[in-house]
Amino acid sequence: MQRLAYVRLSVLLLLGVAALFVTECSRPGDASPVVTVEHAISPEPPRVGPATVILKLADAAARPVPGARITVEADMSHPGMAPVFEEASETGPGEYRAHLKFAMAGDWVVLLHVRLPGGQTLERQFNVSGVGPN
Amino acid sequence: MRVPGLGRLFRWRYVRPLLQLPMLIVSFVMILHGLFGPTLAPKNLATTLSWLHFRGVLVLVLLCAGNFFCLACPFMLVRQMARRFFKPRFNWPRPLRNKWISIALFILILFTYELFDLWSSPWWTAWLIVAYFLTVLVLDGFFKHASFCKFVCPIGQFNFVASTLSPFEVKVRKLEVCVACHTKDCIRGRREPVSDLITIRGCELALFQPSKVGNMDCTFCLDCVHACPHDNIGILSRMPGAELLTDPLRSGIGYFSRRKDFAALAIVFTFGALLNAFGMVSPVYAVESWLGRLLHISHEAPVLGLIFSFFLILEPVVLLGLAAWCARTWAGNQRALLSLAVRYSYGLAPIGFGMWLAHYGFHFLTGLYTVIPVTQSALAHLGWPILGAPRWTLTGLPSNIVQVIEIGFLILGFAGSLVVTHGLAEEDSPAKPLRAFVPWAAVCLILWMASTWLVFQPMEMRATLMSG
């Protein structure tokens, strides 16, 4: 009876380890639509205070994608900090700019919520590591 | 326990599972969301609840009430269920019946927290919770009683030290009732008259109520309350920190002044509080970069190891060693330096608790409402948006208000440490208490100034320490 209990315990442990690998391998992949988003940030390296996110949208044939609506969201990597939301404005064919304010030094993650002219939506994210203190 | 309603609830035999069940459900939700939910920490329940709300509520409940987290510990509910299927056979090995393993694990958690930036990874946070459940199951599957709680659990040790400063304690009402008691059910457990089977467990942490002193090692499991046939044990109010002022023989512990492991725990608790906060402010990156350049090291682990060694070994040894030497020389104390350092190390726990309160209180209060949009988002992703669209702009109290509260916690901790070290000095050197007190007051002042400096530093939460 005791031996059976330890077998059960061992099986439980093995299942735990297996689950570790399964969940790591099954992280959701990126089902990208055929639009590429190039991004840049100014100033570089970024510091606490105002910053501009520059985005360039292009389709599969590398043609600019105008008329998109982009909401830029910036979150800190630590939970509990207030996120920053800004609407990007189109400054040229397929080029968009959003003015953010990094309130704290550290690592930020910028999320792009994009609605394309045809109504299709896509989400992108990039890291802004090491925003320095002022 | 005399409070109407509440007293009846705590006297009810199944109060613990009642409190553990919601915690267990929340733990499972955190694990699932951590493994399968958003990878961004501020949008995940695992990271938000672990690193903001759990820690914040934990320290505030410890400050205002007692070790009620251990009472509602979800790990113990799973252990209880598992023990229906396999009974532990072994006693915890005698050489390990101390706090050294748990101190090492406590430091390991602080270290991995910084090294792997656990706060920014829902996936690793979820696995940390899973690892905790598995460790409990394995250890308490093999070893009898509450071996995990008493000798291993790092959260438990944190709670034990912090709860020495709590205003409530599980203790005997009238000692004379215990003196007349022959069954000692509070430690042996209540047994059936004929079969001698235990129907209500006695204390699994080997704390015999009549000689138990304070909250150290007490998980508030209330087994003793339920086992006592005379209803002579309750959750009673007391002076916070009073147990640190005296050095009686404590059931299940011995004398504080002879327990180097307990003293080391108090030191790690205190200096670890400053270290943990230091890891979140801008100067840590300058220090790391400087150390990296000086030693030609580009990997973070050895640099972090050096910082940990400085904070948890060198700094305590220098500060406590100097203070003990000064106190012995000035007050003419005949004790050995190590013995003096051990005795007074408990006096630093209040200032350490003040720093934990300030740090965890800051994250909790400034991110108080963030659990709302994260929950809204989690439900929306499940296709069940009953709480509406996530309101990501909900955060918490303004940081300038929280900073005032932080300063209050630090002053409270500083005052507590002064009171405790002064009390110890009076007991130790009745002829020259002031001379014995001044060196320890200086240590408290240094720690308080360092804590206050930390609180005013700009926060900088990076997941890549060496990048700068």
For residue range B237-263, list pLDDT tens digits in order: 999 999 999 999 999 999 999 999 999
**Can you tell me the distance from the alpha carbon of A93 to that of B274, in angstroms, rounded to the nearest whole number?**
52
For position B467, what pLDDT does the model report?
A: 45
pLDDT score at A6: 55
pLDDT-derived band of residue A106, with 50, 70 and 90 as boundaries? confident
* pLDDT (0 to 100) of residue A134: 76
Q: What is the Cβ-side half-sphere exposure of residue A129, based on CA atoms within 13 angstroms?
A: 7
pLDDT of residue B410: 98
> Which residues are CB-contacts of B456 (< 8 A; sequence separation ≥ 6)?
B403
> Using an 8 Å Cβ cutoff, are A78 and B119 in contact?
yes
Euclidean distance between CA atoms B166 and B62, whole angstroms? 6
Residue B233 host element (H or E): strand B233-237
pLDDT tens track for B211-225: 999 999 999 999 999
Question: How do residues A1-21 score in pLDDT, each as one tens digit?
Answer: 455 555 555 555 556 555 555
Instruction: Give the residue-averaged pLDDT of B262-278.
Output: 97
- Chain A positions in Cβ-Cβ contact with residue B363 (cut-off 8 Å): 78, 80
Residue of B nearest to A110 (CA): B40
Question: What is the mean predicted confidence (pLDDT) over B293-310?
Answer: 92
The confidence score (pLDDT) of residue B281 equals: 87
Lowest-confidence segment of A96-110, B172-186, B192-206, B315-329 by average pLDDT:
B192-206
Mean pLDDT of A54-61: 93
Are B281 and B459 in contact by the 8 Å Cβ rule? The answer is yes
> How much is the pLDDT for B468?
37
End-to-end CA distance of chain B: 55
User: In chain B, what are the domain boundaries?
Assistant: 15-163, 169-238, 252-468
Instruction: Give the pLDDT band of residue A25 (cuts 50, 70, 90).
Output: very low
Q: Given B123, B370, B463, which is nearest A107 (Cβ)?
A: B463
CB contact under 8 A, A80 and B42: yes
Taking domain A35-131, whether its CATH number is 2.60.40.1940 is answered by yes
Q: Which 353-392 residues of chain B touch chain A by CB within 8 A?
A: 363-364, 366-367, 370, 374, 392
Statement: residue B347 has pLDDT above 90: yes
Contact A106 B460 (CB under 8 A): yes
| Most confident segment among A59-63, B202-206, B288-292 | B202-206
Smallest CA–CA separation between A10 and chain B, in Å? Answer: 9
What percent of chain B stands above pLDDT 90?
85
Model pLDDT, residue A104: 87
| Structure confidence at residue A97 as a pLDDT band (50, 70, 90) | very high
Query: At A73, which amino acid appears?
Result: E
Amino acid at A12: L
Average pLDDT over chain B reads 93
Structure confidence at residue B460 (pLDDT)? 78
Number of other residues whose CB lies within 10 A of the CB of residue B112 = 14
Decide if pLDDT at B10 tops 50: yes
Angle between helices B15-36 and B122-142 (to 10 degrees): 140
- Asked if B40 lies within 8 A of A23 by C-beta distance, the reply is no
CB-neighbour burial class of residue B148 (10 A; exposed 0-12, middle 13-18, buried 19+): buried
Tokens, residue B434:
């002031």
| CA A50 – CA A101 distance, rounded (Å) | 4
pLDDT at position A30, please? 47
Q: Which of A95, A90, A86, A99 is nearest to A51 (CA)?
A: A99
Q: Which residue in the set A9, A75, A85 is minimally distant from B40, CB to CB?
A: A75
Record the pTM.
0.90
The answer to whether residue B91 scores a pLDDT higher than 70 is yes
Higher-confidence position of B297 and B357: B357
User: Is the confidence metric ipTM above 0.90 for this complex?
Assistant: no
B interface test, pick of A13, A17, A78, A129 with most B CB neighbours within 10 Å: A78
SS3 for chain A, per residue?
CHHHHHHHHHHHHHHHHHHHHHHHHCCCCCCCCCEEEEEEEECCCCECEEEEEEEEEEECCCCECCCCEEEEEEEECCCCCCCEEEECEEEECCEEEEEEEECCEEEEEEEEEEECCCCCEEEEEEEEEEEECC
pLDDT of residue B456 exceeding 70, the answer is: yes
DSSP string, B171-213: EES-HHHHHH-SS-HHHH-EE-TTT--EEE---TT---GGG--
- Helix, coil or strand: residue B141: helix
| Radius of gyration of chain B measured on its C-alpha atoms | 23
Distance (Å) from the alpha carbon of B363 to chain A's nearest alpha carbon: 7
* DSSP-derived secondary structure for B242-298: GGGS----BTTTB-GGG-HHHHHHHHHHHHHHHHHHHTTBTHHHHHHHHHHHHHT--
Contact B87 A106 (CB under 8 A): no
Burial tier of B369 (Cβ tally within 10 Å: 0-12, 13-18, 19+): middle
pLDDT of residue A19: 56
Q: Mind listing the pLDDT tens digit for each residue in B49-72?
A: 999 999 999 999 999 999 999 999
Task: Give the model's pLDDT for residue B194.
Answer: 78
